[in-house]
Structure 1
Amino acid sequence: MLLIADSGSTKADWAWVAKDGETSYVHTAGYNPVVHPKELFHGEMDRLTTELLPGLSPKEVHYYGAGCWDYKRKQVIQDRIQQSWPEAKVLVMHDLLGAARAACGRNPGIACILGTGSNTCSYDGDDVTDNVTNLGFMLGDEGSGSHLGKALLRTYFYRELDDELTDAFEKFAKVDKSDILDKVYESDIPNTYLASFTRFMGEHQDHPLIQKIVFTSFAEFLDRHVRKYRGHLDLPVSFIGSIAFHFKPILLAAMHERDLKVGRFVHKPIEALADFHRSVATFK
């Protein structure tokens, strides 16, 4: 019996794979040890074990998480999971490996995450082979929800939206300019707040100015990350994450302009990860 987690900064998806292969799914708030206090994860684990999946006893837990790139950050997660299931084998891995397995399966390719944050890697069908440094939402995260949100807010505050979009945005935001700035600079999770504005952009993505903002962000993402990998013109480039899924036509346009090979767009990576692990003989 196997428990799999795919956790981003905003949302975490969990798959419980029973011995007969039957799979059930639950969701908790996301957790990124780089930007979130550990108490957030502790609280969500309490909810998982007492409300969402009470009484389960997994033999193995495979946790793929944003920000899990070193021992210190992985250990925060491992210790709390092990506290709930002391007998389980717990593996905490970077979300990049999860993205590669979900998007590419056992085939070589370039895997991309475009959600609240962004990241990329090259993958040989077994493991991550290269990763262009991800600088996070303050310095990087090109193409991500937080990056798009920042671009939209700059356009709004610099009075570059037309009257129609300005009116629509102010109705969507339901707060004044000072409230927006307060939430950006005083929130514990500003990246998530910034990414929340992509819902407005999705609703208006037929507008030329919104298309320009999104295309520019995707172009920067492809140029600064994807095109840095050896063999990037030959390897399929696959995507997971809500931003890639909801803005797929604009992303495809940016890819075609750069002659990149289109791979898979995976809307629900947790389902692909469950398929991946079910296919491994030791988990059957």
Structure 2
Amino acid sequence: MILIADSGSSKTDWRIIDIEGNISQHRTVGFNPTYQTEHEMLSILESDEVLSAMTADVKMIYYYGAGCSSDKMKHQVQLSLSGVFPNAEIEVDHDLLAAARATAGDEPGIVSILGTGSNSCYYDGYDIAVSMYAPGFILGDEGGGSYVGKQFLKDFIHDEIPPHIMKLAIEELNLDYDEIIDRVYKHAFPGRYMASFCRFITKYHSDPYCYKLYYDAFQDFFKTYVMKFPDYESKKIFFVGSIAFYNSDILRQAAADLGLNVNMILEGPIAGLTLYHKSKL
């Protein structure tokens, strides 16, 4: 039995391939070794009834996750997984490689993630050849949900949201200054909290204010990441992530206004990853 996992900070999508080639799916909470310890991840995995029921049968795990860019972080995740699946050979890699294999396959191109956070790399058709630093929601995440949500919350605090959108935000989100400050500065996963407001912003993204939140964030992303790769104008550009997928028209326009053409946008990489690994069996 083979397990394939695509893990972001918010959720993890799993695909299970049994010995007859049948595919099933499962979803758990997200994992990120930057913010979670080995023991915290292990505890969550052990408590999941679906995964714990197959501990002895899993022989191979391909795990792609946010925060898994360094050997130290990969090893931390590997230890957690081996604690639950002792008979499995385990490969842990970055979520950027998952995005690249799911979209580009064996083709080279610039591959980016726009989900809760953001990241970008140049993929040579086999591996990540060049990657950009991804300093997270405090120092980066341009174009990602936390970046867009943070700007939305700043506008709310400073009363810079147009009145009609402000009214909807108060009615639908029950926004309150004290709660915002508490959630951002005193609770875990503030980036995830800020990104949660993108559901509202996407719902009204045809409104000029919401449209501009995304448009400006996407242009910031292209200028900070994509346009710094050598010969970026001639390379295919691929995206994975809910922010990119559900706002694809704005993303493509932001790209076109900078002379860029986006080739493919996927909501998540797990289906493409499953096909990729099944083709390698």
| Paired letter, 1:74 | K
User: SS in structure 2 opposite 1:41?
Assistant: helix
> What do you get for the CA RMSD once the two structures are aligned?
1.3
Moved over 6 A (4+): none
Structure 2 CA distance for partners of 1:259 and 1:24, relative to 1, 3 Å: same
When structure 1 is superposed on structure 2, of 173-182 and 149-158 the one drifting more is 173-182
Structure 2 residue aligned with 1:51 = 50
Unaligned runs of 5+ in 1: none
Q: Distance in 2 between matches of 1:267 and 1:22?
A: 23
Structure 1 residue aligned with 2:234 = 234
TM-score by length of 2: 0.96
Q: Distance in 1 between matches of 2:171 and 2:215?
A: 24
| Paired letter, 1:84 | V
Q: Distance in 1 between matches of 2:112 and 2:230?
A: 15
Structure 1 residue 37: deviation in Å?
Answer: 4.0
Q: Distance in 2 between matches of 1:204 and 1:210?
A: 6
1:77-114 CA-partner distances (Å, limit 9, x unpaired): 11111122222110111111111111111111111100
Q: Distance in 2 between matches of 1:162 and 1:82?
A: 51
Q: Distance in 2 between matches of 1:38 and 1:214?
A: 35
1:47-92 CA-partner distances (Å, limit 9, x unpaired): 33x3356135121101001001112211221111112222211011
Structure 1 residue 39: deviation in Å?
Answer: 4.3
Q: Distance in 2 between matches of 1:51 and 1:205?
A: 37
Structure 2 residue aligned with 1:158 = 158
Unaligned runs of 5+ in 2: none
TM-score by length of 1: 0.95
Q: Distance in 2 between matches of 1:199 and 1:222?
A: 22
Would you say the 8 A contact 2:38–2:79 is kept in 1?
no
Structure 2 residue aligned with 1:13 = 13
Structure 1 residue aligned with 2:275 = 275
Structure 2 residue aligned with 1:149 = 149
User: SS in structure 2 opposite 1:263?
Assistant: strand
Q: Distance in 1 between matches of 2:80 and 2:36?
A: 15
Structure 1 residue aligned with 2:103 = 103
Q: Distance in 2 between matches of 1:52 and 1:268?
A: 21
Q: Does 1:251 align with 2:251?
A: yes
Q: Distance in 2 between matches of 1:47 and 1:162?
A: 45
Would you say the 8 A contact 1:150–1:194 is kept in 2?
yes
Q: Distance in 2 between matches of 1:199 and 1:27?
A: 20
Question: What is the count of residue pairs matched by the alignment?
Answer: 280
Structure 2 residue aligned with 1:66 = 66
